[in-house]
């Protein structure tokens, strides 16, 4: 070995001591992760073989042998008996090589009228479509858990916050329904993206289509797509479907993170709003009194990985000319990781919501503190005394200052105290200062009144029932 060769090999180091060939194989291969698309790859190949026979490109006998052989390959993979080869680069070549070992010469006809470019685009679309369906199902389960909490606590009062400062009383049910709306939008985003992506790239070949008399509508229908893609260049270059999945997943993870943060706060000794089930909490290795909301904290952190995947793939795609470039091999690992973590976070959050117990005494005590009914007092002055709201705001602010000086809350002030600020105030004002009266009065559409919360719960139950039937 020459000194130059020895030096080069030392530079490659470790597992790449064989030199550039080993590095090229390692950087070029995707089988370490794209084997997750084995089922989708075989499903697409079976549809392609059937179409080739139907259009006379290959014989019915060859198509039958190929389709049956592919089922054998799938069975081996699912049983864990398949030997994946890095030298064969990806799932497509691994499957085809094994198919040839099983059925012989007909396997070589399978790749007629297609390319790995449209094949991988089809496989990846099928995989992402499955993940969108899984995300929709996971979100529906979470929404149903939230509806259960909302229904149980439609009348429970708690503080509503702005700037994490007590603002106005709301109901527990109303707070739960706020997250129902958030996760409902997430569900609709995944549905919208799924509908938009549901076009088949198969048959676009490398980039220009094919001269064989194929029937792309046939394969599209067989694979559950609405139609074939209309432009072969775009079909093999497109990863918008993966980006839309990641974008939707990122927004969903952000919502999960916000809710997880509230659960961390609410379960603290300072708030004591909720008790988390032992299933979703851990103890401290040194402090025996601790119950740490680890599941919520881990959900809160998932946004970093999922949003990172979104930014990562967007960066990969941003400078690519049409059509396919090898850069696009970097699309899958990020999507796989994001999908895994989103589903894990959804499942964990659903479990926590289903199991958590609200401390209604702490909720009501907190709702009654911090002059939370000050706005109700101002509104009463407008309604009962025909006072301009800005004047009512000033009167209420003066009364809040008085209560603050005395170390009491607004309902604890006497009528004489209130009349010292404004002589028109009557005994009726005390009817609006209780937190239960406050929330019951918020009957505007979408308000926190228990009656309105129950209407929204009923609306969502009906909505979910229709969507499940659809």
Report the C-alpha dihedral over residues 202, 205, 208, 210, rounded to 10 degrees.
-90
The dihedral over CA atoms of 455, 458, 459, 460, expressed in degrees to the nearest 10, equals 130
How far is C-alpha 192 from the geometric centre of its chain's CA atoms?
14
CA contacts within 13 A on the Cβ side of 208: 2
Choose the catalytic residue: 17, 284, 325, 451: 284
Does the CA dihedral 41-130-299-329 come out positive or negative? positive
- Active-site entry in 163, 285, 414, 444: 163
What are the C-alpha distances in Å from 101 to residues 29, 64, 85, 396? 21, 16, 14, 85
- The answer to whether 257 is a known catalytic residue is no
- 284 in active site: yes
First to last CA, the chain: 70
* DSSP state, residue 85: -
Is-contact 35 94, C-beta < 8 A?
yes
Q: Which helix (H) or strand (E) holds 405?
A: helix 389-406
The answer to whether 118 and 110 are in contact (CB under 8 A) is no
Give DSSP secondary structure letters for 220-282: HHHTT-SEE-S-HHHHHH--HHHHHHHHHHHHHHHHHHHHHHHHHHHTSTTT--EE--GGG-B
Residue positions annotated with a catalytic role: 163, 284
């Amino acid at each position: 070995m020459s000194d130059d060769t020895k030096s080069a090999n030392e530079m490659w180091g470790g597992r790449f001591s064989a030199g550039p060939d080993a590095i090229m194989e390692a950087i070029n291969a995707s089988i370490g992760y794209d084997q997750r698309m084995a089922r989708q790859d075989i499903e697409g190949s079976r549809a392609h073989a059937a179409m080739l026979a139907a259009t006379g490109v290959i014989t019915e006998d060859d198509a039958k042998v190929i389709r049956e052989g592919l089922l054998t390959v799938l069975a081996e993979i699912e049983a864990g008996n398949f030997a994946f080869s890095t030298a064969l680069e990806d799932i497509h070549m691994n499957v085809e090589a094994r198919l040839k070992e099983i059925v012989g010469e007909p396997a070589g006809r399978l790749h007629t009228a297609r390319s790995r470019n449209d094949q991988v685009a089809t496989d990846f679309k099928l995989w992402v479509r499955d993940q969108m369906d899984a995300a929709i199902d996971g979100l529906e389960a979470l929404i149903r858990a939230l509806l259960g909490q909302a229904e149980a606590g439609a009348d429970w009062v708690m503080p509503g916050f702005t700037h994490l400062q007590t603002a106005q009383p709301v109901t527990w049910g109303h707070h739960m329904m706020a997250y129902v709306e958030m996760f409902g939008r997430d569900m609709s985003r995944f549905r919208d993206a799924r509908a938009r992506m549901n076009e088949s790239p198969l048959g676009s070949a490398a980039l220009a289509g094919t001269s064989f008399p194929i029937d792309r509508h046939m394969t599209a229908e067989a694979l559950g797509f609405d139609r074939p893609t209309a432009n072969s260049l775009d079909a093999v270059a497109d990863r918008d479907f993966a980006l839309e999945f990641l974008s939707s997943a990122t927004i969903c993870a952000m919502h999960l993170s916000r809710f997880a943060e509230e659960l961390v706060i609410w379960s603290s000794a300072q708030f004591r709003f909720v008790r988390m089930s032992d299933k979703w909490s851990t103890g401290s290795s040194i402090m025996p009194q601790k119950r740490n909301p680890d599941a919520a904290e881990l959900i809160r952190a998932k946004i970093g990985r999922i949003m990172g995947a979104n930014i990562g793939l967007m960066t990969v795609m941003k400078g690519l000319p049409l059509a396919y470039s090898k850069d696009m091999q970097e699309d899958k690992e990020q999507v796989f990781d994001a999908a895994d973590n989103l589903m894990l976070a959804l499942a964990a959050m659903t479990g926590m919501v289903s199991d958590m117990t609200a401390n209604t005494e702490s909720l009501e005590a907190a709702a009654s503190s911090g002059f939370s009914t000050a706005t109700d007092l101002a509104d009463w002055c407008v309604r009962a005394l025909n006072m301009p709201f800005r004047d009512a705001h000033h009167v209420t602010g003066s009364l809040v200052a008085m209560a603050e000086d005395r170390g009491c809350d607004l309902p604890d002030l006497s009528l004489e105290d209130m009349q010292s600020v404004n002589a028109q105030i009557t005994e009726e004002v005390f009817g609006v200062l209780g937190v239960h009266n406050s929330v019951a009065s918020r009957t505007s559409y979408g308000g926190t009144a228990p009656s309105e919360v129950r209407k929204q719960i009923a609306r969502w139950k009906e909505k979910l029932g229709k969507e499940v039937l659809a």
